[in-house]
Amino acid sequence: MLQRLKPKDHAEAVALHRAQVIGPVLSRHLPRGLLADELRRLSAQRFSPPGQHRTRSYSIGTLKRWIRAYRKGGLEGLRPQSRRRGHALALDEEMRSLLVEIRRAHPGASVPLILRTLASEGHLREGDVQASAVRRLLAEHGLDRRTLARTGNRERRRWVADRPGRVWHADVCHGTARVHGKTTKPLRVHGILDDASRFLPALEARSSEREVDMIELLLRALREHGMPDSLYLDNGSTYVGESLALICARLEIAVVHARPYDPQARGKMERFWRTLRAGCLDYLSPTHSHHDVQVRLIAFLEKHYHDAPHAGLMGKSPRSVWRARQLRPVSEEQLRVALTLRANRRVRGDGTVSVGGAEWEAEHGFLAGHTVVVARTLAAPQDAPWIEHEGKRLALRRVDPRRNGHGERRVKRAKKGIDAIHFDPPSALLEALVGRAPRKGGAR
């Protein structure tokens, strides 16, 4: 007994179903008017597709397409073609990851808005990727709107500055210690990040995370870019010192500290550290010096990060948003005044006083044995400190042991306040050589 014939696969079953639907039209040669009437009649009927439990109807356009396919290729021409997945064809892995990250950062953003933003930034050509393809991609990661609404994955209340320069974040990232022969030095990467643009006005590799490190980093950022409205900091010892607070107050820069034990409040900075580790720090050798690390940090910023699409910016690059900055200019005189620190010191009987780990002597012998106000400016650490006495500024000079007939005293290096920066003219000359000397006329 003959076995019952069956379609060899689901595609052939669908092709057979389509042929049966258009059979009344194929079996007759109908003039145009009657053909149109027959297609309207067929489009009003409902059919049961193979493998489905619900009936459905087909549009006139679909019926015409099936007729042309059958006349061109027979039953084989009616087989459904595998759907071209737009996100698999037009998007590389990097762009797919970016789209997913944008939806996670902005759950309320629509797919057309995301695509328009990427196209305006030049990361996609308009029309290359269909919105439906992106929706399928997001659905694969559980980020379609229906899934987000069902799981309650609502957008966490977030804030963002309304313009570049409104808020700067500052933080420190701990890296692998640098190995120099038998000694090791810590690696501390200090960074300042603009909230609105995610641009880095300053990023430096250092071996410590003291308050003075933050002050020096801020000073260089101010000279190059101008002054922000506020600084958003954590509660670490690097950022809660009196000197930093005083300097910012003099420059009218508000200082805001994040709430303790709330890491989400520092999310933008933490996100940058993850990017920096994945793109730079994780590939450094422990034998690289701090200078080598700094060169690589600059290369990472200028050749990748600042021009790469950022999920938190809807695919815009940090540099493109940073161009709209409006920062207050700052002059060298403003910086010198703001960064002038003062402390009480007792002048010894021989007229000397210790400042910044070095010995200085006063030219006025009547000050011996008195407690005076000693001042210095961190804006120009190579300059000598001075004494402020009865409204006058009295100069100090380095002790000359040979002239004075006694050796220079040993003192412990202080680590905060007026003594935070060692008096080191060679370092100041080196900075001038590499282009870090103060610019005349203030910020650019």
- The more confident residue out of 115 and 431 is 115
**Which of the four pLDDT bands, split at 50, 70 and 90, describes residue 80?**
confident
51 touches 13 (CB < 8 A): yes
pLDDT of residue 29: 76
**Out of 140-154, 254-268, 323-337, least confident range:** 140-154
**Average of per-residue pLDDT across 161-169:** 90
396 touches 353 (CB < 8 A): yes
- The more confident residue out of 171 and 427 is 171
Q: Please give the Cα distance from 14 to 261 (Å, whole number).
A: 60
**Which of the four pLDDT bands, split at 50, 70 and 90, describes residue 142?**
confident
- The amino acid sitting at 405 is G
- The more confident residue out of 305 and 85 is 305
Radius of gyration of the chain (CA): 35
Q: Please give the Cα distance from 119 to 241 (Å, whole number).
A: 46
- The more confident residue out of 208 and 31 is 208
**Out of 67-71, 250-254, 264-268, 301-305, least confident range:** 264-268
pLDDT of residue 401: 63
Structure-block tokens of residue 32: 């145009």
- Residue 159: CB atoms within 10 Å: 8
Count of positions (residues) in the chain: 444
Burial of residue 443 (CB within 10 Å: 0-12, 13-18, 19+) is middle
Residue 226: HSE in the Cβ half-sphere, 13 Å Cα cutoff: 14
**Average of per-residue pLDDT across 263-286:** 87
**Listed ranges 57-71, 125-139, 194-208, 233-247; the one with the highest mean pLDDT:** 194-208
Structure-block tokens of residue 228: 């922000």
- In sequence order, the 6+-apart residues with CB closer than 8 A to the CB of 280 are 296, 297, 300
pLDDT of residue 432: 57
**Which of the four pLDDT bands, split at 50, 70 and 90, describes residue 420?**
low
Predicted structure pTM score: 0.63
Q: What is the mean pLDDT of the chain?
A: 82
336 touches 376 (CB < 8 A): no
pLDDT of residue 442: 45
**Listed ranges 160-169, 218-227, 259-268, 420-429; the one with the highest mean pLDDT:** 218-227
Quickly tell me which residue has 């003594």 as its tokens: 419
Structure-block tokens of residue 264: 């989400």
**Which of the four pLDDT bands, split at 50, 70 and 90, describes residue 116?**
confident
* pLDDT tens digits for range 219-243: 999 999 999 999 999 988 899 989 8
**Which of the four pLDDT bands, split at 50, 70 and 90, describes residue 102?**
confident
Q: Please give the Cα distance from 129 to 91 (Å, whole number).
A: 8
* pLDDT tens digits for range 257-269: 887 766 666 788 9
Q: Please give the Cα distance from 51 to 240 (Å, whole number).
A: 68
Is 110 a residue whose pLDDT tops 60?
yes
pLDDT of residue 328: 92
Closest CA to 236 of 211, 219, 207: 211
* pLDDT tens digits for range 364-398: 778 888 899 999 998 988 888 999 988 888 889 88
- Residue 68: CB atoms within 10 Å: 11
**Average of per-residue pLDDT across 20-39:** 82
State the greatest distance between any 2 C-alpha atoms of the chain, in Å, as a whole number. 129
pLDDT of residue 164: 93
Structure-block tokens of residue 102: 């944008």
Is 440 a residue whose pLDDT tops 70?
no
